Structure 1
């Protein structure tokens, strides 16, 4: 399953051009950029983009209560489904090992130990009433057939599973059944929930992976359960365009095969894995200095945000080759744009390429042109027609990066 997108270049922000004339408005709206002798850096609250009606909005000012928040412990049941037209060649334990403990370990590392995903696999195959081929399983699945599959799966599992005891439900199909299509693995959001054990089931993860599965696939789909958007873009049918041009290897919600799958600092802030004091908001014109510690390690400042509009921001973080990012191609300071009014798959995040003339890691990167996107010591990036300049002043032996942000 490929995860990909289209690079959108920085554009001039009309709000900044109007800022000098908007002094009254600026007194009311905290994010408006006003003239001043130096840039002010404050905790992240002033730069928390508002959550909008967009599907999986990147807004961080409030949490969408329709989704479970990965802040402490969540329990997931894994239900293994067999079909009359195939005898499972694997045991449930073998299929479980395809996904756990790897998925739990990914989130444990990403959350700095703040979140625990506990898997509860059913220890037997549960038979479905129809052949796998009868369900016509596909990525773009007929809604009626998909609905029938979900109803059959929940009804078949209900005698063996207390659905009220779990926060997440993984419906795992026999990977060797003839009608199973691995590209159909996804989270299904139900407008009208299914009901079982006195519980409304509004969100189900349908797993159709082959054995062994795609890398990080369940971590990616679980991210949707936590209200994260797809950061790739899906080309038109028949197009040979690359899917990964928006964020490349960065963040598993882009490419689950990426060399740097650690969630963006923005997503960690959204989940509450980062405190507001670990996010510095730049909200006045001038110059500010920031010391960023690597995103993959606990403690310190993780994110600098330049608010660029009502629903847009420039995000700055440091990435290092450790933890979930042990295989990343290039360490450094990563810049990306965030838009809280863009739908999942429609470009809510775009990584800015610090080295647009070069590529890296041709053999392993999901999208080599962005594999070397981070800035190194002594390098700068001019954003928004030069109105914002981000300069990496130094890289310390302890791993921290000193960054200067100049505006105006």
Structure 2
């Protein structure tokens, strides 16, 4: 064995054995590492894992019967010895090496697993801090983005708190959070990298490693209390499309001037027959009007339409991918190709976003998520007419569809469920039918029972107060955070709030919150937008006025229902349009919300804690 390394020793809780790592270069010159154990007197050295893998960071279960560790593996090695299709995941095995079970294969890389003091759960670091049952069931995120990937995680002796390393600027800090509850405390706050926290036996202090900017490493001990993060109505969200805060670093500006460049591109085997003016009609004018109104004029959109068709160098099949809905579609490479083609003749230096329009006679719908580079900057983009396999069509209005995709590039997540299978369908009473509704621009779904034989679909498209709060379109003074003094708050309509309170919010945890808002038949909720401007989908506006109550879970991802309206009788099903009127109340997560007064256009709401 060449260059053998022994590391990561850890004592079993019963004091009888030590697990450790043995790493070496095999006959092919590839580094491998396996888990070994040995009695504390040096006898009975046993190899517990094997294969072309790199196993390390073993940890014992509290009863000393099992070992958890992280594994790096792949489907083979390349010419440089790197794993092909590499995956880092968490594995559990019995203390003799048998019954090895991979708990978290695939997806994000997972590491630094540690057993809870009661042995029922394992915490680990991925893009977030996660918890999983010790049998691999019920994986769930505990914390939002920012966990340092190699910073480690540690349980408090009583199992009620976790310490981990969070990336902070050019370094990392040690953070302590409650497993159940709202409290989060930053206990170190220095330049450099603070990692690998370990609790004292009494749970009062935390040991950690600090690497200074000059590379020097030292051990420190800190009290297990520090700068407490105030409970606010801006819970941290995912680092991607999010229902929380802050917005992703890659997102376009949500306030001030935003310049959008519009390009057109077709393909050798899918050529445009319409002019660029015919292709877009008046859709982008509607998009601008709508979004500037939703932002209460805090967003100033400038659209520069470059009226010419560029021809891609390849047939459209070269740019295809599969969407989250399983459909074949033109992917971001196609829209980035349009930027490359236009770069020689167009100055992108002040572009904040771009839109690529493909020919509607060959493609349909729209997508977001593209990135392109030109003139020394990177900017996000969306593309219209993206899906293949649709019937050849004529140019259709792009207004609301373009606005929806554009707001994705401001950082917001889809609020409708991508997987239709998660919808349960309760039985209806005789004479009833389901009416599908999509509330707000990001399509918060609510199918409700109705006896109206002509009503099939409604789309009250005034954006949710929560979405506007995320985008910095509401002022802190317009938010009632927590139970108000006396328990009552008067809410202005979200469509025309003036300077009054627009949203009441009740934090439930570090990442869950109840939101209450006033929906009136005002603004874009008053009636259906004209088909020729909005996107061609006939609908009614707000079917009933009232107070909308919903919960937000900022650790739930794009298309996975991060927002749920209160009162559902099935998944996104309701026995009526889900707003509360005067005299009605709902009890939700330990709070009762009652509508006590309707003085048009305001509603007065009373909030009481019930447990």
Same fold (TM over 0.5): yes
CA distance in 2, matches of 1:70, 1:371: 34
Q: How far 1:148 sits from its partner (Å)?
A: 4.5
CA distance in 2, matches of 1:87, 1:279: 50
CA 1:390–1:165 in structure 2 vs 1: closer, same or farther (change >3 Å)? same
One of 596, 606, 610 as aligned partner of 1:393? 596
Any idea what the Cα deviations from partners look like across 1:73-93, whole Å, max 9, x if unmatched? 211011011222344232212
1:405 correspondence with 2:604: no
One of 492, 495, 517 as aligned partner of 1:296? 495
1:251 correspondence with 2:440: yes
Any idea what the Cα deviations from partners look like across 1:14-33, whole Å, max 9, x if unmatched? xxxx9xxxxxx999769xxx
In the alignment, what sits opposite 2:384? 207
Q: Are the counterparts in 1 of residues 368 and 383 from structure 2 also a CA contact under 8 Å?
A: yes
Q: Structure 2, unaligned stretches of length 5 or more?
A: 1-159, 161-179, 186-229, 387-392, 426-433, 446-456, 527-540
Larger Rg: 2
CA 1:283–1:321 in structure 2 vs 1: closer, same or farther (change >3 Å)? closer
CA 1:151–1:69 in structure 2 vs 1: closer, same or farther (change >3 Å)? closer
Local SS of the residue matching 1:223: helix
In the alignment, what sits opposite 2:307? 123
Any idea what the Cα deviations from partners look like across 1:156-191, whole Å, max 9, x if unmatched? 1212322222111101101113xx2x24x211245x
CA 1:217–1:370 in structure 2 vs 1: closer, same or farther (change >3 Å)? farther
In the alignment, what sits opposite 1:268? 468
1:349 correspondence with 2:563: yes
CA distance in 1, matches of 2:349, 2:575: 43
One of 404, 418, 421 as aligned partner of 1:220? 404
The list of structure 1 runs, each at least 4 consecutive aligned residues, that deviate by more than 4 angstroms after superposition, is 25-30, 140-145, 239-243, 255-258
Q: How far 1:149 sits from its partner (Å)?
A: 2.4
In the alignment, what sits opposite 1:40? none
Number of aligned positions between the proteins: 344
CA distance in 2, matches of 1:27, 1:252: 30
Q: How far 1:214 sits from its partner (Å)?
A: 6.3
Q: Are the counterparts in 1 of residues 320 and 329 from structure 2 also a CA contact under 8 Å?
A: no
Q: Are the counterparts in 1 of residues 283 and 398 from structure 2 also a CA contact under 8 Å?
A: no
CA 1:115–1:195 in structure 2 vs 1: closer, same or farther (change >3 Å)? closer
In the alignment, what sits opposite 1:153? 338
CA 1:66–1:149 in structure 2 vs 1: closer, same or farther (change >3 Å)? closer
Any idea what the Cα deviations from partners look like across 1:5-55, whole Å, max 9, x if unmatched? xxxxxxxxxxxxx9xxxxxx999769xxxxxxxxxxxxxx84323323353
Mapping for residues 267-346 of structure 1, pairs under 5 Å: 267-283=467-483, 288-299=487-498, 300-326=500-526, 327-346=541-560
CA 1:87–1:29 in structure 2 vs 1: closer, same or farther (change >3 Å)? closer
Q: Are the counterparts in 2 of residues 282 and 288 from structure 1 also a CA contact under 8 Å?
A: no
Q: State TM-score, norm by structure 2.
A: 0.51
CA distance in 1, matches of 2:184, 2:321: 49
1:47 correspondence with 2:232: yes
Tell me how large the CA RMSD over aligned residues is.
3.4
Local SS of the residue matching 2:578: coil
CA distance in 2, matches of 1:144, 1:104: 26
CA 1:89–1:189 in structure 2 vs 1: closer, same or farther (change >3 Å)? closer
Q: Are the counterparts in 1 of residues 238 and 554 from structure 2 also a CA contact under 8 Å?
A: no
Structure showing greater relative contact order (alpha-carbon pairs closer than 8 Å, 6 or more residues apart)? 1
1:72 correspondence with 2:256: yes
Q: How far 1:235 sits from its partner (Å)?
A: 2.0
Q: How far 1:95 sits from its partner (Å)?
A: 2.5
CA distance in 2, matches of 1:144, 1:334: 35
In the alignment, what sits opposite 1:163? 348
Q: Are the counterparts in 1 of residues 251 and 411 from structure 2 also a CA contact under 8 Å?
A: yes
CA distance in 2, matches of 1:132, 1:293: 49
Q: Are the counterparts in 2 of residues 54 and 340 from structure 1 also a CA contact under 8 Å?
A: no
Q: State TM-score, norm by structure 1.
A: 0.75
CA distance in 2, matches of 1:206, 1:325: 27
Q: Are the counterparts in 1 of residues 264 and 338 from structure 2 also a CA contact under 8 Å?
A: no
CA distance in 2, matches of 1:27, 1:309: 5
Q: Structure 1, unaligned stretches of length 5 or more?
A: 1-17, 19-24, 31-44, 358-366
CA distance in 2, matches of 1:159, 1:26: 55
Any idea what the Cα deviations from partners look like across 1:350-382, whole Å, max 9, x if unmatched? 11138x59xxxxxxxxx8847610101111111
Q: Are the counterparts in 2 of residues 295 and 319 from structure 1 also a CA contact under 8 Å?
A: yes
CA distance in 2, matches of 1:341, 1:370: 28
Mapping for residues 80-99 of structure 1, pairs under 5 Å: 80-99=264-283
Q: Are the counterparts in 1 of residues 369 and 409 from structure 2 also a CA contact under 8 Å?
A: no
Q: How far 1:345 sits from its partner (Å)?
A: 1.2
Q: Are the counterparts in 1 of residues 284 and 399 from structure 2 also a CA contact under 8 Å?
A: no
Q: Are the counterparts in 2 of residues 79 and 121 from structure 1 also a CA contact under 8 Å?
A: yes
